[in-house]
């Protein structure tokens, strides 16, 4: 009896799993939940979150399309009417701007801590130009320092002060002179300027700003109003602010724009536009993926029963016998871990990796239906020890002969290899030729096939790899698709030879990973560097939700957002709606609208309350930073700390990067370390 008797007992145990009266009420509850969640009513928009999603998409088209239109110069590119009018209102705390269109003007500011940067505007582009820069002490009319720069048209340059300029307050003036033609004049000092003075004449008014020298620190104060921004300049700064906010957070964007004199209302508008778009698009998608009605949330008993029911079906498909008495589950806020012990039977044809992949796939499909989006990790254990096989072996009982093909590709001459075929040789030979045609039909390479024929069944296992470049990325057919296709192909070609035999087929793409075979929506891997081993998979979500949120890039972001939300849930449970507003508002990294939205989901707040709280908090954060960034910069300039502004921007970017990296590492550690303990038997779960 031995092994086969043990398998029979386990099959009886599996039957008891189906019939136990204790599970009847749970089964009915699970069936009701399944029925509700598989509602075929696909009407769109169906709920309020669908309307919010539509609004977010429209808002995104208007916002990004508007910035694109502005930066292209197609929408009144040189017009300053917007900045000119708004600068007269309380929206612009920097004061009224001036219209210098058509008139020669200068931008004078500090660059790289100790360089003076000068840029001219509206100079005739076809004439030779000379800029004369003078630094004069207020108590002396004679220039203390002179600098000359020549070229054609507008000039853009920087220079350092010479040694000997003492600490104090100075008047820095810039005046541009232009020649009568386009021949460039080489002017480098006062003497060469005087040589060409007869050919030059002033163009525009002299620009004078205040220069304060304090050691190696320079401060320039312009008593005149700033130049108005054109529509095109607003477009350029729109993209620059978006890039800065995406890379380093809202704080980085505001400090960058504030140091360049970008109006506060424009910085606030860009930040608000990004917040509205991402909140109104991604939050409804996250809500659709994660949200479940209170009656649909599975208890621990219901979850375990769902796993049992799924595995009962899986063992039938895989021809294995699962030991349900030793089945274990560990449920955590960030994952579900399962230990599945099983025995092989005489009809088991899958390898250990194939069996684990199919078990994972079946469980993930059920999780998707029931809205369970926590990462799943499983450990499948073959109790009879026969599953520790090489890539080209079956898991079969010892009373059956085994024929293994290690050909690659299939050979035309099978006579020597299959010389030991018995009474069923004709059928086996036909199967070989049929497999050969199937491989050719799909342009596949046979990576190792095996065939077993007896009077009751035909067992076929194929391992294939596509014969195409970059197949790992471009070959999208799943092993289930190929397995079904091979089954149909064999039945069609061997119908007269199979008779009453049961056809059992297993197919696997050698180049596919476990996550590919399990058809997972998102995969998280352990890190060997941190001694973390594991592969956690999230149920695949169909439609636009899955496409947008379960690609590798967004999946990585989403997992970090989930972790931060779970870490801060206690605060929201305590303070509720107002706590969520403050959380989104506070000027710390990783507390934006998306994290706030996920936090509301985790805390099971109503959709509209979460949306409102995140809109209020995000708007408050954008406005607060936009209208305080310039004040922070002016405060630093007042105390001669303006040299730290670029460092502060860089620091904000680095802090954001390190914060996100730390969250990712901590999540991975928490996700895999506890699972490793559970699988090794340290944790009882």
Which pLDDT band holds residue 340 (cuts at 50, 70, 90)?
very high
Residue 213 is encoded by which pair of tokens?
Answer: 């020298």
Joined together, the tokens standing for residue 67 give 């910035």
pLDDT 10s digits, 217-229: 777 877 777 778 8
- The confidence band for 261, taking pLDDT boundaries of 50, 70 and 90, is confident
Q: Check whether 68 has a pLDDT greater than 90.
A: yes
State residue 415's pLDDT score: 45
DSSP character at residue 128:
E
pLDDT at 677 over 60: yes
Mean pLDDT of 141-165: 81
Q: Is the pLDDT of residue 493 over 70?
A: yes
Higher pLDDT, residue 452 or 186: 186
Q: Domain residue spans in the chain?
A: 2-40+295-382, 49-84+234-279, 100-224, 403-509, 560-680
Is the pLDDT at 634 greater than 90? The verdict is no
Assess whether pLDDT exceeds 60 at residue 235: yes
Between vectors from CA 443 to CA 437 and to CA 446, what angle results, nearest 5°? 70
Rounded Cα gap, residues 330 and 372, in angstroms: 15
Confidence of residue 411 (pLDDT cuts 50, 70, 90): very low
69, two tokens: 């239109």
| Structure confidence at residue 10 (pLDDT) | 47
The answer to whether the peptide bond before residue 535 is cis (omega within 30 degrees of 0) is: no
Percent of the chain past pLDDT 70, that is, above it, reads 78
- Is pLDDT above 50 for 418? no
Q: 100-224 architecture in CATH?
A: Sandwich (2.60)
Q: Among residues 281, 280, 279, 273, which one has the least CA distance to residue 68?
A: 273
The tokens for 330 are 């560990």
Mean pLDDT value of segment 18-47 = 74
Q: How confident is the model at residue 239 (pLDDT cuts 50, 70, 90)?
A: very high
Compute the residue count for the chain.
685
Per DSSP, 253 falls in state H
- For residues 113 and 193, the model is more confident at 193
Nearest to 675 by CA among 667, 683, 664: 683
Look at residues 581, 133, 519 and name the one whose alpha carbon lies nearest to residue 364: 519
* pLDDT at 554 > cutoff 50: yes
Q: Please state the pTM of the whole predicted model.
A: 0.57
Biggest CA–CA distance in the chain, Å, is: 116
Alpha carbon distance 517, 449 (integer Å): 18
Residue 93, preceding bond cis, omega within 30 degrees?
no
- DSSP conformation letters of 569-602: HHHHHHHHHHHHHHHHHSSSTT-SHHHHHHHHHH
According to DSSP, the β-strands at 336-344 and 444-453 are unpaired
Q: Across residues 453-481, what is the average pLDDT?
A: 72
pLDDT for the residue numbered 293: 73
What's the chain's average pLDDT? Answer: 77
Residues linked to residue 446 through DSSP beta bridges, in sequence order: 464
DSSP-assigned letters across all residues of 224-249: SPPBPPPHHHHHHHHHHHHHHHHHHH
Q: What is residue 548's predicted lDDT score, i.e. its pLDDT?
A: 61
């Amino acid at each position: 009896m031995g092994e086969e008797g043990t398998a029979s007992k386990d099959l009886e145990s599996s039957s008891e799993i189906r019939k136990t009266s204790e599970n009847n009420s749970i089964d009915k509850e699970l069936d009701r939940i399944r029925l509700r969640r598989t509602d075929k009513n696909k009407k769109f928009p169906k709920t309020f979150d669908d309307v919010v999603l539509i609004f977010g998409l429209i808002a995104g088209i208007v916002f990004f399309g508007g910035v694109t239109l502005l930066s292209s110069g197609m929408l009144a590119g040189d017009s300053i009417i917007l900045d000119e009018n708004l600068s007269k209102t309380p929206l612009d705390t920097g004061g009224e701007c001036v219209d210098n269109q058509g008139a020669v003007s200068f931008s004078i500011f500090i660059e790289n801590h100790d360089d003076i940067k000068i840029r001219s505007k509206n100079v005739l582009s076809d004439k030779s130009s000379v800029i004369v820069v003078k630094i004069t002490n207020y108590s002396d009319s004679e220039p203390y320092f002179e600098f000359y720069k020549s070229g054609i048209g507008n000039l853009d340059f920087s220079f350092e002060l010479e040694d000997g300029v003492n600490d104090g307050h100075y008047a820095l003036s810039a005046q541009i002179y232009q020649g009568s033609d386009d021949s460039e004049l080489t002017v480098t000092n006062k003497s060469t300027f005087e040589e060409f003075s007869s050919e030059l004449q002033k163009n525009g008014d002299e620009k004078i700003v205040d220069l304060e020298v304090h050691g190696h620190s320079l401060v320039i104060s312009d008593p005149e109003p700033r130049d108005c921004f054109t529509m095109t300049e607003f477009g350029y700064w729109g993209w620059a602010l978006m890039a800065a906010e995406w890379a380093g957070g809202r704080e980085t964007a505001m400090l960058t724009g504030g140091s360049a004199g970008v109006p506060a209302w424009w910085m606030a508008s860009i930040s608000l536009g990004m917040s509205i778009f991402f909140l109104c698009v991604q939050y409804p998608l996250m809500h659709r993926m994660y949200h479940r009605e209170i009656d649909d949330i599975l208890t621990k008993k219901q979850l375990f029963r769902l796993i049992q029911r799924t595995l009962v079906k899986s063992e039938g498909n895989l021809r294995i016998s699962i030991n349900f008495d030793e089945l274990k589950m560990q449920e955590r806020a960030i994952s579900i871990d399962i230990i599945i012990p099983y025995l092989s039977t005489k009809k088991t044809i899958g390898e250990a990796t194939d069996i684990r992949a199919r078990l994972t796939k079946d469980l993930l499909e059920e999780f998707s239906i029931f809205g369970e989006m926590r990462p799943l990790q499983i450990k499948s254990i073959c109790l009879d020890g026969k599953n520790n096989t090489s890539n080209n072996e079956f898991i079969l009982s010892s009373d059956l002969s085994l024929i293994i093909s290690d050909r690659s590709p299939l050979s035309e001459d099978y006579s020597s290899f299959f010389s030991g075929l018995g009474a069923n040789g004709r059928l086996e030979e036909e199967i070989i030729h049929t497999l050969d045609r199937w491989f050719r039909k799909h342009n596949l390479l046979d990576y190792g096939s095996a065939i077993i024929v007896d009077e009751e069944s035909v067992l076929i296992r194929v391992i294939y790899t596509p014969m195409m470049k970059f197949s790992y990325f471009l070959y999208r057919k799943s092993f289930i698709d190929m397995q079904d296709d091979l089954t149909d192909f064999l039945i069609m070609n061997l119908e007269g030879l199979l008779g009453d035999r049961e056809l059992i087929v297993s197919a696997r793409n050698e180049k596919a990973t476990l996550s590919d075979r399990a058809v997972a929506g998102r995969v998280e891997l352990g890190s060997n560097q941190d001694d973390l081993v594991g592969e956690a998979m999230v149920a695949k979500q169909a439609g636009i939700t899955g496409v947008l949120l379960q690609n590798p890039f967004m999946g990585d972001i989403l997992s970090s957002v989930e972790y931060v939300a779970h870490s801060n849930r206690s605060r929201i449970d305590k303070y509720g709606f107002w706590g969520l507003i403050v959380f989104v508002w506070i000027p710390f990294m990783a507390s934006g609208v998306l994290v706030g939205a996920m936090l509301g989901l985790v805390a099971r707040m109503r959709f509209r309350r979460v949306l409102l709280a995140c809109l209020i908090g995000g708007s408050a954060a954008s406005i607060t930073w936009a209208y305080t960034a310039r004040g922070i910069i002016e405060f630093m300039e007042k105390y001669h700390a303006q040299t730290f502004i670029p460092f502060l921007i860089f620091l904000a970017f680095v802090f954001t990067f390190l914060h996100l990296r730390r969250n990712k590492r901590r999540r991975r550690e928490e996700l895999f370390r506890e699972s490793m303990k559970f699988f090794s038997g340290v944790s009882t779960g």
